[in-house]
Amino acid sequence: MDVSSSESEYQPRIRRAPRRRSSIVQSEAESTTEWNPASLYTDRPPPSSFPFPFQSYAGNPDPGTPIPGISSRRSSMESISAARRNSEDLNLIRPHAPFMAGNAAEPSPSGSGASTPNSIYRNSVGHNTSSTPNIPRNNSATFRAPFLSPASRPTSSFWSPPTHPSPAASNTALPIPKAPPPLPSTRLAQPLTKEDKPWLTRTPPRDRFSYWITLILIFLGWAAAACLVFFGTRTVNLLPENQLCMVLDENFNGGGINTDIWQYDTGLGGFGNGEFQIMTKQSRNARIENGELWIVPTLTSDNLDGGRQAIFNGGSYDLGDDCSTQDNSSNCAVKSDGSTVIPPVESARLTTKGTKSIRYGRVQVRARLPIGDWLWPAIWMLPVSNEYGPWPLSGEIDIMESRGNGIEYPFQGINYVRSSFNYAPLESLLNQIYGWWSMKRGGFHQDFHVYTLEWTPQWMRVFVDSRLHAMLDLNIKKEKESFFKRGGFPQTAQNGSSEVVVPNPWSNSGWNAPFDQDFYLILSMAAGGTSGWFPDDSDKPWHDGSLTAMYDFANAQDTWASTWPSNDADRALRIDYVKMWQLGSCPA
């Protein structure tokens, strides 16, 4: 078969895919006629008006649209036909590697000239291998490059891989095809004007709808946010400032503690919590320093005859007339022997009992807490007259309690403060409503903070520094929000050795009972205890249920005392000021 003759007869047949009917075509006649851009895109923009990948310049029309003064771009099918025609007229030169220098001749810039199908076959490897014996074989003047890897198989006498022939051999390399001429550019010299874009003269209805619906939704969002803010602020419980009467404003600017306001509560009986300290009236434990009240814990062995050994045996401690409960001798004096130890810590406890109290209003204390293992600073309140019975029937308000242990302590150390409301119809059914606030870095011993109680018949709130930092925020506006309902007490309970029906001692009072009576303020610094404030699961040196709990605590003095700062300023509960307001008219 003659290849050259077939070349003239060969005509590539291109089957064009049927054009899909556009949504903007209105009739069959329009689909067969040439489209006019001026009428085609009067209602909607062409594809080229959209961003990537349609346009190379803003406003560039569709690539298939003819542009006056610029030759039209060739179609993709025409490029394929041209590529096929050019591939039949190849102009490749023989490769020339550096190691072919010597016998190999320099390649000609033009190669072997234009090649025909016959010349391509004559220059092929198949034609060379079938020629006369004068064609070089394996023993010809060719060689394998020394830097190439060894052949994968030994040389065969019947076939060998193609090699670079000697200059006398025919050139088997295909000629390099000529570069096709560059296509004409359709890039616009300048952006099109609005007159060149008739689809911009009228906004599509869908675009107008999306624009307005977006504006409406934005407006509704702002309106909803404004309503939330407005009604949210109206529901925040606030004390009416014009109805608050200041009862106490203590800044501790005097030379000593004002006993007309503050009363010492002394004793060594543990104050119902099995605490391990002696509350004294000594200035080393409570004094005024630089306009602040300092309550400082000290080691009993530093001020006891006989030193630390007297804590366990042969020592004695007597508060004498300073004891607050003279009718209970065990709360005022102690002697150490083999079974009894003297509390190893001295501290102080100051109250406003009998001097200042409020029923509803605000209490505000600015304080800096101490650091040291097993220290227990507290700012709290107790009822003046116990109208519903002894503790806990008449309630207890803890404005702030904390543990002096470091931030690594697993049960809320010095980086936590806690508030709670304590009450119960029976002592065995003690209920606590509590909350806390924590610091992410550091602790409450590093600076002063303001601890505030706000209290009304309808709600109670305790917070640190700001109402946003609320530890407790309770509403008492419905019967189901009453303290008795919140307690969830059972119908019967064990009271001593017998089972009794659980009474409601506040049934004849309001929903906020027992917190509907006068309370006074207490500032105290305790150490240890068996009430569970320091859980047994930690590495504390005693157990709450042990009969030797205080002995074990005193015996580990070297361990916990080493965590107490030697500086009184860091070991003390420091009070900057105390303020109390009564809600309503001032008391006579």
Q: Where does the pLDDT of residue 513 fall: very low under 50, low under 70, confident under 90, or very high at 90 and above? A: very high
Spatial distance between the Cα atoms of 258 and 475, rounded to a whole number of angstroms: 36
Specify whether the CB–CB gap between 267 and 281 falls below 8 A.
Answer: no
- In a 3-state reduction of DSSP, which class is residue 428? helix
The mean pLDDT of 125-132, rounded to a whole number, is 49
Please tell me the pTM assigned to this model. Answer: 0.67
Specify whether the CB–CB gap between 43 and 24 falls below 8 A.
Answer: yes
> Of residues 349 and 187, which shows the higher confidence score?
349
Q: In sequence order, what DSSP letters do the residues of 198-227 get, joined into one string?
A: GGGSS--HHHHHHHHHHHHHHHHHHHHHHH
- Per-residue burial over 111-129, b if 16 or more Cβ lie within 10 Å, else e, is bbeebeeeebebbeeeebe
Per residue in 191-242, pLDDT (tens digit) is: 888 788 887 788 888 888 999 999 999 999 999 999 999 998 888 999 999 9
pLDDT of 40 reads 61
Q: In sequence order, what DSSP letters do the residues of 525-555 get, joined into one string?
A: EEE--SSSSS-TTS--SS-TT-TTHHHHHHH
Low-confidence winner among 153-167, 225-239, 267-281, 284-298 (lowest mean pLDDT): 153-167
Spatial distance between the Cα atoms of 285 and 525, rounded to a whole number of angstroms: 10
Per residue in 415-467, pLDDT (tens digit) is: 999 999 999 999 999 999 999 999 999 999 999 999 999 999 999 999 999 99
Per residue in 516-525, pLDDT (tens digit) is: 999 999 999 9
Instruction: Examine the pLDDT at 78 and tell me if it is beyond 80.
Output: no
- Which amino acid would we find at residue 513? A
